[in-house]
């Protein structure tokens, strides 16, 4: 079976020759005609070319907004439209920490409140393997004057407690 994976999404070639997007769905049975293989190869080449280009911070943030994790969606539902004590949050917000480099160096914050210069970062399982990177990132954000609240994904099971925790963090 031939398919191309892009940020957790698999693109399958349909019987009509077009592409469809799927998440864990089974692929069509008719895979081995020359047309199908050619289109798959072209899709892979196009995808590779797009992601080898240097993306701007805004482009990266847009891609992350389109592909939010389930914990991010849960928390965003509680933060959006000034629902939490009137604070305005931005999701997947890019912050440039070294504009002198080309391309610029930046972080994308899960949730950011500009009025109090505070960020909320959700911590999934990957953060156990990147402790040094997280410490450097935390230090860089602190140097920019941004406070960071880190929340473990499993803590979202008690969303009311998390909302209280976030409000007290923002008022500090």
Q: What does the pLDDT read at residue 3? A: 38
Strand partners, 149: 120
Last residue of a domain, one of 14, 32, 52: 52
Same domain membership, residue 68 and residue 96: yes
Same domain membership, residue 111 and residue 39: no
Same domain membership, residue 69 and residue 42: no
Number of structural domains, the chain?
2
The yes-or-no verdict on residue 25 having pLDDT over 90 is: no
- Convert the pLDDT of each residue in 147-169 to its tens digit: 999 999 999 999 999 999 999 99
The yes-or-no verdict on residue 129 having pLDDT over 60 is: yes
- pLDDT band at residue 27, thresholds of 50, 70 and 90? very low
Q: What does the pLDDT read at residue 163? A: 96
Same domain membership, residue 74 and residue 121: yes
The yes-or-no verdict on residue 141 having pLDDT over 90 is: yes
* Domain region containing 44: 4-52
- pLDDT band at residue 19, thresholds of 50, 70 and 90? very low
Question: Are residues 25 and 12 in contact, defined by beta-carbon separation less than 8 angstroms?
Answer: yes
Alpha helices (H) along the chain: 34-52, 57-66, 70-79, 131-143, 159-171
**CA–CA distance, 112 with 140 (Å, rounded to integer):** 15
- Convert the pLDDT of each residue in 84-104 to its tens digit: 999 999 999 999 988 888 778
Question: Are residues 45 and 78 in contact, defined by beta-carbon separation less than 8 angstroms?
Answer: no
Residue with tokens 């692929």: 27
**CA–CA distance, 24 with 52 (Å, rounded to integer):** 26
Same domain membership, residue 145 and residue 67: yes
pTM: 0.66
Provide the token pair at 147. Answer: 């406070």
- pLDDT band at residue 53, thresholds of 50, 70 and 90? low
Q: What's the rounded mean pLDDT across residues 133-160? A: 93
């Amino acid at each position: 079976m031939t398919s191309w994976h892009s940020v957790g999404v698999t693109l399958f070639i349909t019987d009509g020759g077009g592409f469809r997007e799927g998440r864990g769905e089974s692929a069509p049975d008719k895979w081995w005609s020359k047309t199908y293989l050619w289109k798959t190869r072209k899709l892979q080449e196009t995808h590779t070319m797009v992601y080898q280009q240097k993306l701007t911070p805004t482009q990266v943030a847009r891609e992350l907004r389109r592909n939010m994790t389930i914990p991010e969606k849960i928390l965003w539902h509680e933060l959006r439209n000034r629902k939490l004590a009137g604070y305005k949050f931005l999701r997947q917000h890019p912050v440039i920490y070294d504009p002198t480099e080309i391309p610029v160096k930046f972080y994308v914050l899960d949730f950011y409140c500009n009025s109090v210069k505070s960020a909320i970062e959700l911590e999934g399982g990957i953060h156990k393997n990147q402790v040094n990177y997280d410490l450097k990132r935390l230090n860089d954000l602190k140097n920019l004057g941004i406070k960071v609240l880190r929340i473990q994904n499993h803590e979202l099971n008690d969303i009311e407690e998390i909302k209280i925790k976030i409000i007290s963090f923002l008022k500090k």
